[in-house]
Every structure is written in C-alpha cells, then in structure tokens.
Chain A
C-alpha cells in the first residue's frame, strides 16, 4: 500500500522528530480560556487506545482486505484516490464497565458511521455521496450506552467514505470512562480545533475590518501638483491577508461547506495563496519598497504564486492526485522562504523597528509553515492541527503594532507641530527683520546722500556764492569795504538760516517766518525801517519738506533783501495768514517800487521750485510780493 518503504521510513522519522504537542502561542490559550487546557497524555490505565485491526477498502472499484495499524491516512495509503473503507478494531475488556463509557476519535472522515459490537451508534454524513460534508474537521466523542460493552472480546466498527485531498482517514480511537474521555481528550481537542478556529477567524476578520477601515479613512492629501489623494495600500493588503486567513481558518469549523468539495477546496487554496501573496505585499509596503522597479517583477511572481496553486488544487482534487498540490505548495514555500530570507537580510542591513517586527513575524511564520508542510503533507501523522493558522494572528498583531507606532509618531508630530511652526515663524520674523534692516540701511544711506546733496547745493547757492562775490569785490580796482561787509553779512545770515532750516519741523512755515525775522532783526534795526509783523497762527503744510522750506527761506530772504537794499522804504509789513488751500505770505513796502514786467529772476525761479504762486504788484509807495503756498 505504502508508496515505498524508504519514503515511509523518512515520513515516520520526520513525524517522530516533530513535537506532538502544540507548544507556542500562549496568547491563544488566553483567548480560549479554561476550555483551552493543554491536551495531556491520557491516563493509560483507564483508557484504551485502539491502534490495530483490519480494514476492507474499496478504491476505484477494487476491494481489498488487510490488517491495519492506526492512524490510517487515506491520501497516503491510496495516493489520494477517493473510496470507502470498513475498519474493524477488536478489543478486550476484563469486565463490563460499571459506569458510562465514551469513545473519542481525534479525526475520522470524510463521512463515517460507528458501530460497537454490531450496534450502530452514530452516522455523520451520507456514506453514499462523495464531495459533500467533511466530518474530519472536528474531533468526535460518542457516549457508549451501558450494556453495550461486555467482558471479553468487543469490536469497534467504523465505516468511512474518503474524498480526495481532504485529509480523510481514521486516527487512533480511544475508549474509556465517559468523564475521562470527554474531559481530558475530547474537550481540549475540540477547543484547539473547533473553538480555536472560530476565535482565530473572528480575530482575523476584526483585524481585517480595522485594516480596511484604515485604508478607507487614512487618506494622504494630494501632494503639491501631483494627482489624487493617496491611500496607504499597506492597510489594503493587510485587510486582504486577514480576510483570506479568516475564511481559511473558518474552514476548520465548517463541517458542511456551502460548495462541493472540489470548488470549496480550490477556494481554500486560493485563500491560502491569497494570504501569502497579501502578506508579501504588506511586507513590501512596510519596508517601503513598493515603488521600486523590481516591484513589477515581484508582482508577476506573486500573481503566479496565487494562480498556479488554484489550478494545481483543481487538478489535484478533481483528478484525485494530491501530489500536484503538495508539490506546488513545496515550490511556494521555497519561494516564500527566499523572500523571507531577502527581507530579513535587508532588515539586518538597514533595520527599522517596523521591518524588525515584521521580519520576526515572517521568520516565525515560515518556520511554522515548514513544520506544517512536513507534518501534514509529508509525514504519516494524522489528526494533527496546522500551526500556521496561529501565525497569521502574529501578522495581525504586527499590523496593530505598526498602526500604534504610526499613531504615536503622528501624535508626536502633532505635538511638535506648534513648536516647529513657532520656530519657523520666528525664523521668518528674523528674515523679515534682517530684510527690514537692510532696507533701513539703504534708506538711511539714500537719505544721507540726499541730505548731502541738499547741503552742498545750499552751500553753493548761499555761502559759496556770497564768498565768491566777496572775493571779487576785494579783487576789484575799487574796494568798497561796506559792500564786502554786506556780502559777508549776507553769507553769515544764510549760514544761520540754513542751520535753522535743518531744525525746522516739516512744513512749519510759522517757525520759518519767526526765524527769518529773528535773523533779520539786526539789519532791520540798523536800517531804520519800521517793521509791521502781521503773522497769524498757521497750520503746518506737510508737503513742504526741508529742501522746500529752504527754498522758501531763500525766496523771502531775496524779497526782504530787495526792500532793504533797493526800495528806500520806510515801512515793511510782513503778513501771513491761512487760506482755504494753504498759506498766503505777503511782503509789503512803501518804497519806490519796481517794474513788475521784469521781476527779480531769483524770486520767480525759487517760487517755481516749490510750486508756489508768486504775484507781484508795484507802484511807487506800495509794492506787494505775494506768495501763495498750497
């Protein structure tokens, strides 16, 4: 029956090396609570394990009878061909049991019926129909009615119908006192296989829902100029992985699948491969490799890894040749191993907390997957539970860890944000202050340049002009000391007025007039002129800046000088009054007058420079120089 003696020996060896008790995953124990007490070795003296008997099997229309040692792994014995078998397991009791007894079978199926001493105790499934329900998924406990067992020889008869690739067969049945069998054998096995599957499925489903929620809600806003807002696909792949796994694990609890076995088996394989592919994509995103050029090749490889097993499974199940699936899963494990090694290598090269976490989970999962492949696919062990189902939970926890890290980083950033903003604002303020300082320095330099220009021009117009006149006067043939003195006095007065102008507030015409009078006072006193001062209160004219005020000084100086030097007047009247649009200043004398058709050139040019309207009236006895400032 066995394929070859050598291979069988290897299988037995492998099975012997592997631990029979699932040790890891204390987490799951916590989840399962009291029901998850670890399976313990049955008390040998009370319990009877039925390991040997005979079997009559029918495969492809050929019926054979043989003695048998349990466990009986159908796919191994019959190379995956579907069929029927009738096991007869004799056992001997010293005496008929006094209390109730029970029967525990860790795994039997696909469908079966159980009889003891010729009495049919239980039927699970339709023995006439294949590819239907699968009762091999859950451990079986049957109470043995009192009186059924007797002292001496007894006989346990089990009929099964086996579907291909469904891990059909018969594990070692154990009989004994009902309480012991139920509590110490059946209950833990049921918890591990059925309750565990339900809880794991629920866990994966919830994690998947969380991941999908994160994928839907955590939208990265569109970057500057570039396209649509981006979702983080890491969450999508995590959701797919978790849901594939939820369905895959849920299968452990679904005795009667909604599809026929081949379709359901293919779906389960698709789930398994989908989970592996999604995990790889998840890891790519965790590592930040999703945008690398090699990603395209990887995606092609992953598409292959997803689709080939689906076909392989279909072929294996529909043709009853599980070898195809086993071989391909081997290839898949090699590919995954290669990827995990790559990932771990990259992680060691450039470790980050996220990569380390995922790499650790991957390494563990891979180890578990290899163990499962060896135990379930390669060895003769029968009735074993896959461990890899628990490993997926680690991926879920890793995802939660990543999300928590991201949340922590985001909240740290958000706490940091006001400080960063404040720092940037301060930086910007410093830049602005520096720019302002530069502008200020530039403005001051320009101001200084303008002021220098103004003073130079002033010196040229006033002191310079007067001094050069004085020099000419001194150099002329007939030096008249009074003339020279007069020129020099003019020069001095201009210098004083120029200094006054430096201290005038902008537009302060009132102050300008008062200062002018103050500077002219000694000359007026010496001239015998009577001065009438009729200056009202004047508002400042802000448009008159320092140069304009200086021009106005020149203009009035000129007008007063003319009166003093040429008019031969007795009275000089200076009027100033506010007008609707500004200020009107009038210099009036009762002298000989002048020809207004030929006004003094200096007066006109100065008036033009400051935009003042100059009006002249002159007749003997009354000359008016009127300046309208607006």
Chain B
C-alpha cells in the first residue's frame, strides 16, 4: 500500500518523532502540541518500532524528527526508510552537537535540517515550521566541508577532461569523500557544474559566517532565494547519496540489469 503524501498545505503539519530519550520525547511532544500548526502523530524509541510504524501507518507524516543514535541502529536508517516510503516528508535530525560529519551523513540520507537537542521549547516548533516553509539551516562548517569536497571534485573532473577518455574516478577516489569519489564514476549524475556559480557564492558566504539575510543583502537577493539555494543544495546532496547507493549496489551486483 502506498500512501500519497499531501502536497497541499494542510491545516496542520503532522509530526513523527523517533527518539529513545523519553524525557526529550516528552519535551518535543509538548512543544509540538503547543503549536496549533503542528499535529503530533507518534513518538517512537527504536529503529524497529519506526520500521513497524512505517509499515502499518495509514497517515503520512509531514515532518520526521529522528535521533541518530538509536539503541538498535542508526537514525539514518529511519530517514532513508521515510524517504523511500514518504518522499514528501521532511526529515529533521535531532543532534546534540550538530557536528560536520554527522550533519553531512544526515543530509545525504535525505534530511533537510537539524535541530539541537538543547534548543529552547519555542525554538523547536519554530524550526519545524521554518523547514516546512522552505528554510534549510546549514552551518558554516558544513558549508565549508561541501565546498572543499566540491572543489576537489572539480579538480579531478578537470584532470579527467584534460586526458580524454580517462575516468575521473581513479583521480578522485581516496582523495575525497565517498559520495564525491563514487559520484565521479557516474558522470551523468555528477557534472563539474554540480553546484551553480550562485550556489557556490552562497555557500562561500555561509562558510564565512554570514547569515541568510546578510547574504541576501550582499548579493541583492531575497532571503527566500537564498533559502531555495540551500534547499536545492540539500536535494542535490541527497540525490548524490542515492546515486551513490545505486552505483554501489550495481557494483556489488545487487541490482539485476533488465533482460
């Protein structure tokens, strides 16, 4: 049974929470229930429960709040399962530190934002609504990390272009992150123009600590446009992640070629 997620703005956004800390779950529930534009669906504690819920639910969640460190597995699994089952759902990662490595992995799994566990109760609801309104928070550290990896990819692609017929993969593998290295082996998915010039500018300013509003002012854009750039970037990262998964699966012979 496949349930189509609603694309029209509903009266309230439905929220699913997967977090093993009961007290934090209660805090989140209180914050969600206190906000009329949000509707609490369920609070789950483990990966197993989340899978079971996804298998039986009759209602599509609009927002997922997932902790990464679940007792029986990674919250990334929940995010992936959600992205497969309900593509319109926006997963948000619950994070203590919001550190670069876990943030990048979350975005690649399909997350569109993160929420600090020590956020003030009012901030929790506001962040969720912002996400639904099209905002995607990105830390300067993450922006810098994406830029660095992207530039490496460009160099590898340029090197491959300089030697016609040569694949970029050998040059890129081992020197850059996994999604870029393997992405380079699927050229239709990764072009050197993976990031537009504007997106690069925006990322660069974020990495230097400027806020969306300041960037909008500096670049003569609307804040919404800046947010759209970031959202697009998130989507691209996730697409890359999926391509990478497909590439990896076919490399391992897990996917059959159609006869």
Contacts and interface: CB of A to CB of B under 8 A. Distances in A.
Interface in A505-552: 510-511, 513-518, 521-522, 526, 533, 535, 537
B119 A533 contact: no
Contact of A514 (B99, B118, B208): B208
B209 A535 contact: yes
A533 B214 contact: yes
Interface in A13-37: none
A499 interface: yes
Contacts of B207: 510-511, 514
A492 B118 CA distance: 8
B239 interface: no
Contacts of A511: 140-141, 144, 207
A505 to B, nearest CB: 9
B199 interface: no
A253 interface: no
A294 B137 CA distance: 98
B120 interface: yes
B210 interface: yes
B208 A518 contact: no
A336 interface: no
A500 B118 contact: no
Contacts of A514: 140-141, 144, 206-209
A149 to B, nearest CB: 110
Given A503-B141, A511-B140, A518-B140, A533 B210 contact: yes
Contacts of A521: 211
Interface in B108-160: 118-120, 123, 139-141, 144
Nearest to B144: A511
B97 interface: yes
Interface in A83-112: none
Nearest to B210: A533
A503 B214 contact: no
A420 B118 CA distance: 68
B123 A503 contact: no
B98 interface: yes
A150 interface: no
A500 B100 CA distance: 8
Contacts of B214: 533
B98 A496 contact: yes
A515 B139 contact: yes
Nearest to A497: B97
B207 to A, nearest CB: 6
A499 B102 CA distance: 12
A495 interface: yes
Contacts of B208: 510, 514, 535, 537
B97 A503 contact: no
A489 interface: yes
A296 B21 CA distance: 99
B209 A517 contact: yes
A515 B141 contact: yes
Contacts, number: 52
A518 B209 contact: yes
Interface string B83-102: 00000000000000111110
Q: Which of A489, A517, A537 has the most CB of B within 10 A?
A: A517
Interface in A461-508: 489, 492, 495-496, 499-500, 503
- Is the contact region of chain B dominated by helix, strand, or loop, or is it mixed? loop
Interface in B202-220: 206-211, 214
A411 B35 CA distance: 95
Contacts of A516: 209
Contacts of B209: 510, 513-518, 533, 535
Given A514-B207, A514-B208, A500 B99 contact: yes
Contacts of A526: 120
Nearest to B118: A492
Q: Which of B120, B139, B208 has the most CB of A within 10 A?
A: B208
Interface in A225-251: none
A500 B141 CA distance: 8
Interface string B228-246: 0000000000000000000
B123 A522 contact: yes
Contacts of A518: 139-141, 209
Contacts of B141: 500, 503, 511, 514-515, 518
Nearest to A526: B120
Contact of B97 (A499, A533, A535, A537): A499
Given A489-B118, A518-B209, A537-B208, A499 B139 contact: no
Q: Which of A499, A518, A521 has the most CB of B within 10 A?
A: A518
B211 A533 contact: yes
Q: Which of A513, A533, A537 has the most CB of B within 10 A?
A: A533
A526 to B, nearest CB: 8
Contacts of B123: 522
Contacts of A500: 99, 141
B97 A495 contact: yes
Nearest to A574: B209
A492 B95 CA distance: 13
A250 B99 CA distance: 104
B115 to A, nearest CB: 12
Interface in A345-367: none
Contacts of A537: 208
Contacts of B210: 533, 535
Contacts of A503: 99-101, 141
A499 B96 CA distance: 11
Interface string B160-175: 0000000000000000
B88 to A, nearest CB: 29
Nearest to B206: A514
Nearest to A504: B141
Contacts of B211: 521, 533
A492 B101 CA distance: 19
Contacts of A492: 118
18 contacts: A489-B118, A499-B99, A510-B207, A511-B144, A511-B207, A514-B140, A514-B206, A515-B141, A515-B209, A516-B209, A517-B140, A518-B139, A518-B140, A521-B211, A522-B119, A522-B123, A535-B208, A537-B208
Interface of A: 489, 492, 495-496, 499-500, 503, 510-511, 513-518, 521-522, 526, 533, 535, 537
Given A500-B99, A518-B141, A522-B119, 16 more contacts: A492-B118, A496-B97, A503-B100, A503-B101, A510-B208, A510-B209, A511-B140, A514-B140, A514-B206, A515-B209, A516-B209, A518-B209, A522-B123, A526-B120, A535-B208, A535-B209
In the A-B complex, the 7 residue pairs with the closest CB atoms? A514-B209, A514-B140, A517-B209, A499-B97, A518-B139, A492-B118, A499-B99
